[in-house]
Structure 1
Amino acid sequence: MADLLSDRRLFARPARGRADWQKLRGGFQWRVPSAMNIADLCCDAWAALAPDRAAVIHVTAEGAREVWTYGDLKRASDRLAAAMAAAGIMRGDRVAVLMAQHPAVLITHFAAMKLGAVSLPLFTLFGEDALRYRLADSGARAIVCDAAQIDKVTGLRPQLPALDLIISTGQGAAPVRALDDILDTPAPGFRPVPTDAEDPAVMIYTSGTTGDPKGVLHAHRFLYGHLPCMELSQNWFPQTGDVGWTPADWAWIGGLMDMAMPCLFYGVPLVSHRFAKFDSDAALRLMAQEGVTNAFIPPTALRMMHAAVVPDDLRLRAIGSGGEPLGADLLDWGRARLRCPINEFYGQTEANLVIASCDRMMDRVPGAMGLPVPGHEVAVLGPGDTPVAAGEVGEVCVRAPDPVMFLEYWGKPEATQDKVIDGWLRTGDLALLREDGQMVFHARDDDIITSAGYRIGPVEIEQALVAHPDVVMAAVVGAPDPVRTQVVVAHVVLRDGAEWSGLPERLKALVRDKVSAHVVPRKIYRAETLPMTATGKILRRALREG
């Protein structure tokens, strides 16, 4: 077992607590095998070596604890793969996964991959229109879903001519097959099909903040592309006794690839639990109960946990977070109350985990994404693809090719061509380049507010607003103005019991003090909730259009 793990680690652990990030970057070489399959790397290889090794620890809604070994995952995924193959599912077909956190999610991914098919993770919160679009656009031929989703899926089936096979965790009744019955049926002689690193493996839809969602098709190699960031941002992950967990849905690239699959690749037990609704106190208790050492926790969840009671017996070594920038208050809270660093990182569905911070290896800069991760060439480019100087803002671009980079947008060749131009993947995100090389997220290109000649990013203003103890969440957008082109407008969600009277003026003063007078919101609106994508990102576009 030690040999398998040591062969998989990308970085030797340093003799001292801090190391030279640039030295790691300069000496890094990718070791991506030409023939590979994620299901083999994250399941079957461990099952062959240590079938009784704990892979997933599932905590049920009632609090029961189920331990799934690598041997369990292999048997189950072999049986599901055999059943899907018998139903005609084959290489290249799309297999949708519509389930909340549960070992069955991973089993389905592995089963699809063993057939050379493409797994298609989908959020259980999707309404009928969102689900119909993705299933139709992808041409999914099979779906494995929760019992709670079955009525929705069967109701859509007449509109989905490609969907041949429906499997559910509940009781099967035609045209639905029961997953439990399949997993109870041995599959003697089943053999996975061989796949290469460049073969399609997973398709994840973008959140659709602009235009229709796009299916981002990834190859098996993209697993390797995530590993440098995982090892470094999770403070020399893995170590003996590590346990991983994320509250993020595994249908999101963050939940699936920023924690779940890397844990299984490294042989680290992964905790799974389905929260009907995220509960900060319950999440902290779960981490303490299961001895979680490493977690991926999105910013929204961290902000909700900020006011919760922190158990004394937490064992956290590091938290990774991404999706929205964090402020100094959350970073300080992590160190003081959770007794661990919160390391920010950056990526997109198309090219994930390419920038990261690591408190042991660089100065902590609140709001900064960090430095380019070893193995990834990332630049902040201005007009003419010229790198910007320190102190300037430009577009974050990733040099192609890169193991973590997507193959294509499904069925959208023109969009694919527009994403990768002249050897650079264009993220559409703007960042400020610091003197030390760290990149500070500025804004989405389409979130920029142009006011009186100034180009204003919303993030710094939002961070100032949520620094007020009465503000739970904030979103800043531009509103049309006949004189200034746009003016800054803020929408805030308050804590329970907060007094609104006089608060807008205090918040404006806070922004003036923390950021600048020229970015102070002209108007501040109180909101009960903010529109968000399925991955927890604020939909500023919806606020602008509303």
Structure 2
Amino acid sequence: MLERRDDYRSLYRDFRWTIPGRFNIGTAVADRWAALDPDRTALLDYRIDGAPDRLSYGALAARSNAFANALRARGIGRGDRVALLLPQSFETVVAHLAIYKLGAIAVPLALLFGVEALEYRLQTAGVKLAVTNAAGAAKLAGIAGRMPAFDGMVVVGADAGRDDFDRLVAGHSPDFVAEDTGPDDPALMIFTSGTTGPPKGALLPHRVLLGHLPGVQMAYEFLPRPGDLMWTPADWAWAGGLLNALLPALYLGVPAVAARFEKFDPETALVLLEKLAVRNAFIPPTALRMLKSAPDIGGRFRLALRSVCTAGEALGRETYDWTKAALGVTPNEFYGQTECNLVLGSCAGIGVSRAGAIGKVVPGHRVAIIDGEGRPVRSGTVGQIAVARPDPVMFLEYWQSPEATRRKFVGDWMTTGDQGVEDEDGYVQFFGRDDDVITSAGFRIGPGEIEDCLTGHPAVALAAAVGKPDVLRTEIVKAYVVLKEGFAGSPELAGGISRWVRERLSAHEYPREVEFVDSMPLTTTGKVIRRIFRERARREASQVTGV
């Protein structure tokens, strides 16, 4: 836990980890608060057309105990993998905590996944049971017979007889003695996004929740404070939604909002923020850029936000400035990966905030920019962002992939595959994945800042910037742009968009080609899939050069 301080330097210098010898996420999140303050609100289930339902910590502890008993009766035990294929809901949290209490391993999966993506992950993890809703059950029905380890589903809200979630909770005792787990025992398997290869199951231990706390408290301006309420549009199947928002908030006694949205909609999000008086929000950069399309936010909505955090990709100066002006708070950007999350961060309240940077090293972690040999480079030099081990927030391994786990490290540095540069003040600027960095006329260019600048143009809704092979410059910047409603693509508009970036960034960063597209491919975590456009640009170049 972080002490509230006014300066970053002493905060970093004096922080010490306190990791207990025995620790279980399930009991730490629910049972601890149930004993201290059972009527305290843990979760609010948001409804557009009515008052939200409420679940107390006492009820959360009792329901997760009952579901743990139900899972044990189904043969689930320590080390078994249980998939969660659910939207944000009370049941999702209850199921997570029950799995942790059993000493089993939760495998959260996004409902947006298609059948092939689900089958790959379920097979790879050797999942024994899935907790899902009717939509998820329909997807799983066709592949269940092809998975030898799979032993069925528990379905939420489908009146599924003995396997209905609510009936199982109601039919089992609310008393349960959790497994005696240590901080290094596995609790959670989250699959990487697969943007640079086949998705891998990152196995995370129980201590990972404690490892997130310094970064969470820093990024949310010293959570908790009276009246705090947490919401994120990020899927709880993603490390961002689960570990940057939901579980740390509950651990700290801050109620969290569950809201079922099929896709992010700016107007719906603003109504929720106002109606519930949300104080703390984790909003990924793509969602913040989409909010720009909502007119006159300050005039139409009374927001109660005191902290807005963002991560997953670079935010950029344009959206940083817009957030301050439109939402009334300075966005605190932070950085990490599923394998080792929230190790760099910002906190405007103590002066750690800079447009275009993802912050400084979070107390309790050691982060450096390294070269290919694992040696830290001088400030101002581009290299790979790396995290030193051991670290409480670091993953245990890639599931059944010892070689991939070994390749993740250079000595005691866990490599990220992300390019960055640290300045003399300790701020780190994120360039992008190794493959995303554009090399043009000797310059190394990160696509994130270009994309952010592009979305500042009045006509641009979303954008992707990639390197297109070029004989003279090695690569040129090419932008793929989705226009806002009411705008039509034309050579004149493309030229205007290019000039917009050149005037605001530099002569080597502006897109020399702009192509208009109907939609933007996004991962389930809301990141632009640049790989698709990069391959497209390379095909275009090869058709011209014949190479």
TM-score by length of 1: 0.94
In the other structure, the counterpart of 2:109 is 122
- Cα shift at 1:38: 0.4
Given that 1:42 and 1:265 are in contact with CA atoms closer than 8 Å, whether structure 2 keeps it comes out as yes
1:144 maps onto 2:131 in alignment: yes
- Cα shift at 1:312: 4.2
348, 360, 365: which one pairs with 1:359?
348
1:26 maps onto 2:21 in alignment: no
In the other structure, the counterpart of 2:334 is 345
Alignment length, in residue pairs? 532
1:229 maps onto 2:215 in alignment: yes
In the other structure, the counterpart of 1:242 is 228
Q: Deviations over 1:314-371 (max 9, x none)?
A: 1111111011222333323333332222110001011110000111223532120010
Which amino acid is the alignment partner of residue 37 of structure 1? N
The 5-angstrom pairing of residues 316-355 of structure 1 reads 316-355=305-344
1:304 maps onto 2:290 in alignment: yes
1:511 maps onto 2:497 in alignment: no
Q: Deviations over 1:237-270 (max 9, x none)?
A: 1101111111111000000011100111011111
- Paired with 1:486 and 1:340, the residues of 2 have a C-alpha distance of 38
- Cα shift at 1:235: 0.9
1:220 maps onto 2:206 in alignment: yes
SS in 1 for 2:196: coil
- Paired with 2:145 and 2:46, the residues of 1 have a C-alpha distance of 36
Q: Deviations over 1:437-484 (max 9, x none)?
A: 100111211112233443332223222222211111111112233444
- Paired with 1:456 and 1:370, the residues of 2 have a C-alpha distance of 19
SS in 2 for 1:426: strand
1:95 maps onto 2:85 in alignment: no
* 1:228–1:189 CA distance, 2 compared to 1 (3 A): closer
In the other structure, the counterpart of 2:119 is 132
In the other structure, the counterpart of 2:140 is 153
Given that 1:354 and 1:378 are in contact with CA atoms closer than 8 Å, whether structure 2 keeps it comes out as yes
- Paired with 1:335 and 1:28, the residues of 2 have a C-alpha distance of 29
Given that 1:449 and 1:458 are in contact with CA atoms closer than 8 Å, whether structure 2 keeps it comes out as yes
Given that 1:246 and 1:297 are in contact with CA atoms closer than 8 Å, whether structure 2 keeps it comes out as yes
- Cα shift at 1:396: 0.6
1:542 maps onto 2:527 in alignment: no
SS in 1 for 2:163: strand
Which amino acid is the alignment partner of residue 545 of structure 1? E
- Cα shift at 1:282: 1.7
The 5-angstrom pairing of residues 311-460 of structure 1 reads 311-362=300-351, 364-460=353-449
- Paired with 1:279 and 1:462, the residues of 2 have a C-alpha distance of 20
Q: Deviations over 1:4-35 (max 9, x none)?
A: xxxxxx22334xxxx22121111110011110
- Paired with 1:532 and 1:360, the residues of 2 have a C-alpha distance of 32
- Cα shift at 1:156: 1.3
Which amino acid is the alignment partner of residue 147 of structure 1? A
- Paired with 1:458 and 1:327, the residues of 2 have a C-alpha distance of 10
Q: Identity, % of aligned pairs?
A: 46
- Cα shift at 1:545: 2.0
Given that 2:352 and 2:360 are in contact with CA atoms closer than 8 Å, whether structure 1 keeps it comes out as no
- Paired with 1:37 and 1:516, the residues of 2 have a C-alpha distance of 51
Given that 1:37 and 1:113 are in contact with CA atoms closer than 8 Å, whether structure 2 keeps it comes out as yes
Given that 1:216 and 1:409 are in contact with CA atoms closer than 8 Å, whether structure 2 keeps it comes out as yes
Which amino acid is the alignment partner of residue 279 of structure 1? D
Unaligned 5+ runs, structure 2 = 537-547
In the other structure, the counterpart of 1:13 is 4
Given that 1:61 and 1:274 are in contact with CA atoms closer than 8 Å, whether structure 2 keeps it comes out as no
- Cα shift at 1:521: 2.3
- Paired with 2:190 and 2:125, the residues of 1 have a C-alpha distance of 10
Which amino acid is the alignment partner of residue 258 of structure 1? N
Which amino acid is the alignment partner of residue 43 of structure 1? A
Which amino acid is the alignment partner of residue 71 of structure 2? M
- Paired with 1:484 and 1:330, the residues of 2 have a C-alpha distance of 29
In the other structure, the counterpart of 1:6 is none
- Paired with 1:510 and 1:216, the residues of 2 have a C-alpha distance of 41
56, 81, 106: which one pairs with 1:69?
56
Which amino acid is the alignment partner of residue 408 of structure 2? K
Give every structure 1 segment of 4 or more consecutive aligned residues whose post-TM-superposition deviation is greater than 4 Å. none
* 1:199–1:63 CA distance, 2 compared to 1 (3 A): same
In the other structure, the counterpart of 1:532 is 522
Which amino acid is the alignment partner of residue 524 of structure 2? A
Report the aligned-residue RMSD: 1.6
- Cα shift at 1:410: 0.5
In the other structure, the counterpart of 2:181 is 195
253, 260, 280: which one pairs with 2:246?
260
- Paired with 1:126 and 1:212, the residues of 2 have a C-alpha distance of 14
In the other structure, the counterpart of 2:196 is 210
SS in 2 for 1:524: strand
Given that 2:315 and 2:449 are in contact with CA atoms closer than 8 Å, whether structure 1 keeps it comes out as no
TM-score by length of 2: 0.94
- Paired with 1:188 and 1:38, the residues of 2 have a C-alpha distance of 18
